Amino acid sequence: MAKKEKKLPRLKFKCWNCERTYTLLPSEITEEQKLIVPCPYCDAEAVVKVEPFKKRVMSVARRRDEEGSAIGFEYDFPEVIPTENPGQS
Ligand SMILES: [Zn+2]
């Protein structure tokens, strides 16, 4: 069975260019582990590197026995996610 990545919730971003915040439902994470979240205010291309927010989740049901020792990934995003200029790196 193919691994399914958890669907992303609606997230809040801060534009690197105009510094306004906006909410967006990111469609997908690219192969480079980036979210592409263009700013609706100034039309700037903005990206978020998700790698720093990715954390390995081990055995959620740790306190009870050892059942369900599934290892997966979860994203631990801050309330407002800073974005980057994609042309910078
Ligand atoms: Zn902007």
**Dist CA 23 CA 61 (whole Å):** 32
3 Cα: distance to centroid of ligand 1 (angstroms): 34
32 Cα: distance to centroid of ligand 1 (angstroms): 22
What confidence tens digit (pLDDT) does each residue in 55-88 have?
Answer: 887 765 555 555 555 667 788 899 999 999 998 6
Cα 11–chain centre separation = 8
Tokens 């081990």: give the residue. Answer: 58
What confidence tens digit (pLDDT) does each residue in 1-47 have?
Answer: 555 656 677 899 999 999 999 999 887 888 889 999 999 999 999 99
24 Cα: distance to centroid of ligand 1 (angstroms): 13
84 Cα: distance to centroid of ligand 1 (angstroms): 11
